Amino acid sequence: MSSFTTRDVSIRVSAGNAIEKIAERSNAGLERKRNEEGEEGSSFFNVPKKIVPSTSA
């Protein structure tokens, strides 16, 4: 009775891609959110934030 399918996986992947695109567009907003949430917010947004310089450079 597993309710997790490949559809669930693809949804999570597309959500990750959306987070990356949002990070690229709103870097200032991302910094503000990281500062508000502290350590937890920082660790969550760490990956998209590292992608920004490599894609824009």
Per residue of the chain (57 residues), give pLDDT as tens. Answer: 556 677 777 878 788 888 888 777 776 665 666 666 555 544 555 555 555 555 544
What's the pLDDT at 38? Answer: 57
**Domains of the chain, residue spans:** 6-56
Global pTM exceeds 0.85: no
What's the pLDDT at 26? Answer: 72
CB 21 within 8 A of CB 48: no
CB 38 within 8 A of CB 46: no
What's the pLDDT at 41? Answer: 47
What's the pLDDT at 9? Answer: 78
Residues 48, 22: Cα–Cα separation, whole Å: 9
